[in-house]
A = this chain, B = another copy of it.
């Protein structure tokens, strides 16, 4: 599978999981993983999912606009850069967002998120 297709598949899986069963995102992080969410730094799968599941909205829908992918220079690790729209239930206008993932291969042949930075663009 080529890296661009792999990045796209990861991103689709990530946001589908976020929008349907946020707690299951725990499987995509590890203890060393870091999330910076709107400037707040959080480390570890459990803390990251605690943050994501406690956001002040229950239902949301991510729509991906762009996915860019590059090898990060370490083994088969990948940097994935996403832009898109985040529609919150009951809100008229979607919010634009940008997000960056650093994906590291696991011995099982999948990837985990080592780095995650999320920002709203307030558009």
Contact = CB atoms under 8 A, between A and B. Distances in A.
Interface residues of A, number: 26
B119 A81 contact: yes
Given A36-B81, A79-B100, A121-B83, A114 B68 contact: no
Contact of A73 (B68, B71, B104): B104
B70 A119 contact: no
A58 to B, nearest CB: 26
A55 to B, nearest CB: 18
A39 B8 CA distance: 14
A16 to B, nearest CB: 22
Contacts of A121: 83, 96, 98, 121, 123
